[in-house]
């Protein structure tokens, strides 16, 4: 049964509320598309579903942002980059569909759930000030107004060697240094899909940390980082330097997201396997 189409977002919401409403609404667009595939009970083209998901989610987000925050600029994976954003005071950084492969893939007869919608606000002088990550297939939205603060109870077990550090990892393209970490007995890799899902898995306690090398774009991490930072998690480059957004080149070479009690421990492990800032190769 198809879910209802997203409602029009109210413009009088505060920025965090708007981000959450946008992430939820775009998620409805995406899940409705997959419901239509199920109802057709036919063979489907995954590439067509990916393209349609990207396009429809982008169109809905763009229309709602124009209505609710018409004076703000937007940086999106699925839109032409407006360089006027470099001089703007407020820029929304969005990914209408993070994890296109996961969105269009079935596993054992069921749709995968590890894809996301990202909506973040960058403000001059403030950095990432609001954001939301929607997990449409799981009916979840994580946003900066309702942070899930870190649970400190079992981090001592990691530091004492009583359990391994759980690290979110790419199912298909883990960086070489992550593979090196996996060879250690004190690190357990937990494979999962999109970048947003990986960062949220740190926030909800599924894993302890997520590290990435090889490069991403700003829209891949802005909203997840906003949510994680609001909840008190450590979000930096691999070497501990600050993540910067709304740059002329939106390429971000690497990412480090960790439970605050385990950040120093994880950095030591990364040093042992020789992981440094990853410049990567920009596509």
- Can you tell me the distance from the alpha carbon of 206 to that of 168, in angstroms, rounded to the nearest whole number? 9
Is 77 among the annotated ligand-binding positions? Answer: yes
Is 154 among the annotated ligand-binding positions? Answer: no
In contact, 2 and 33? CB cutoff 8 Å: no
H or E element in which residue 262 lies:
none
Beta strands 165-170 and 209-217 are parallel
Is 229 among the annotated ligand-binding positions? Answer: no
In contact, 174 and 168? CB cutoff 8 Å: no
- Can you tell me the distance from the alpha carbon of 17 to that of 71, in angstroms, rounded to the nearest whole number? 18
Is 149 among the annotated ligand-binding positions? Answer: no
Instruction: Look up residue 4 and give its DSSP letter.
Output: P
At residue 55, what are phi and psi to the nearest 5 degrees?
Answer: -65, -45
Beta strands 165-170 and 187-192 are parallel
Is 98 among the annotated ligand-binding positions? Answer: yes
In contact, 120 and 128? CB cutoff 8 Å: yes
DSSP string covering 136-157: GGGTEEEETTS--PPP-TTHHH
Residue ranges of the binding site: 77, 95, 97-98, 220
Residue ranges of the binding site for Mg(2+): 77, 95, 97-98, 220
């Amino acid at each position: 049964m198809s879910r209802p189409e997203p409602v029009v977002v109210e413009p009088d919401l505060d920025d965090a509320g708007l981000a959450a409403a946008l992430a939820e609404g775009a998620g409805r667009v995406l899940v409705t598309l997959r419901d239509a595939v199920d109802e057709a009970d036919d063979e489907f083209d995954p590439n067509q579903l990916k393209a349609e998901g990207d396009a429809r989610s982008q169109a809905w987000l763009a229309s709602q942002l124009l209505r609710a925050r018409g004076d703000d600029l937007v940086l999106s994976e699925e839109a032409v980059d407006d360089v006027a954003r470099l001089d703007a005071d407020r820029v929304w950084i969005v990914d209408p569909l993070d994890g296109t492969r996961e969105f269009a893939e079935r596993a054992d007869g069921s749709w995968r759930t590890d894809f996301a919608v990202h909506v973040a606000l960058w403000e001059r002088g403030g950095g990432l000030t609001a954001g939301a990550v929607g997990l449409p297939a799981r009916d979840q939205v994580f946003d900066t107004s309702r942070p899930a603060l870190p649970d400190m109870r079992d981090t001592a077990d990691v530091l004492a060697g009583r359990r391994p550090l759980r690290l979110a990892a790419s199912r298909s393209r883990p960086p070489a240094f992550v593979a090196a970490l996996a060879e250690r007995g004190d690190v357990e890799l937990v494979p999962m899909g999109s970048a947003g899902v990986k960062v949220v898995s740190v926030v909800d306690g599924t894993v302890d940390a997520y590290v990435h090398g090889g490069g991403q774009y700003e829209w891949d991490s802005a909203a997840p980082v906003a949510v994680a930072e609001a909840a008190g998690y450590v979000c930096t480059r691999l070497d501990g330097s600050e993540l910067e957004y709304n740059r002329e080149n939106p390429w971000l070479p690497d990412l480090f997201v960790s439970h605050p009690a385990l950040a120093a421990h994880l950095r030591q492990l990364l040093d042992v396997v020789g992981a440094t800032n990853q410049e990567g190769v920009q596509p």
